[in-house]
Structure 1
Amino acid sequence: MTTAETALADGAVLRAARPGDEGGILALIHALAVYEREPDAVENTVDQLRETLFGADPRAFAHVVEREGEVVGIAIWFLTYSTWTGRHGIWLEDLYVDEAQRGRGYGLALIASLAAVCVARGYSRLEWTVLDWNEPSIAFYRSLGAVPQDEWTSQRLTGGDLAALARRV
């Protein structure tokens, strides 16, 4: 399974995102933010998504599940690079399926499509993070064979701290 359109068992379609999907993708990003207890954190816009996903030099990509003309699932990702393997990988930024559409296998289809991209392109890794309290997602990822990287702690710079560090150059 790659980014070509794939019909799912119930008539839904898994495919690469295309122009026109931005509104549906953004709606699911907002729903994810609510689920992750950060309802006011999303600053993204339809125009930003259009430029990011479909502009002259896309740096992020998305696969969607479309059902009855509506985007009901998303996998938003970008390329990483491993200096150890000398190959790219995929970082899965967001995987989300509309709550009313869960249990249909859409999440599995989305993440499997990214695994297929990795295999087809010779990428060495598919990686992502999950919130510690998100037990349903953790259980789902373990069922796929995903292994936690407990020895690594994510780090992040944002806002004023990011700007202050940039001024040190």
Structure 2
Amino acid sequence: MSAHTAQALEQLLHHDIPLTRDMGVKVIDWQDHSLRLHLPLAPNVNHKSTLFGGSLYCGAVLAGWGWLHLRLREAGITDGHIVIQDGQISYPLPVRGDAVAVCQAPLPASWERFLATYQRRGRARLALHTFIHEQASEAAAVRFVGQFVVHR
């Protein structure tokens, strides 16, 4: 991803979802249809000196939202409004330091079905998976599945 694309997504997040500024969310990269966001501990710390569960949930949703935003732009779709419809999250490990939220591409068939439905109906739903790990570890501390809806 170009530095310009990362900066543009980060500015969009900070403008359209002001909470992301206070959370300190940064776009790390967009490669091979995988989006990575940085979630710093300091502005999201809880009383146990770990990353607050609500901030982790927000980070997981934001990674999915950002992934879908970028992927739609790549597909030439700029008239869609993205919303989260439903989300399930689990927190198998505490996050004791800065974290990385990663949203990876769904199966190609799911993406193609989503695009076809959106083009036909002007509304479509897509399940996206996000995991969050500490910067110093690849172990998934958070697992999230979100149902995102895009409508004209």
Q: TM-score, normalised on structure 2? A: 0.31
Q: Which has the higher strand share?
A: 2
Superposition TM-score, scaled by structure 1 size = 0.29
Q: Which has the larger radius of gyration?
A: 1
Q: Which has the higher contact order (CA 8 A, sep 6+)?
A: 2
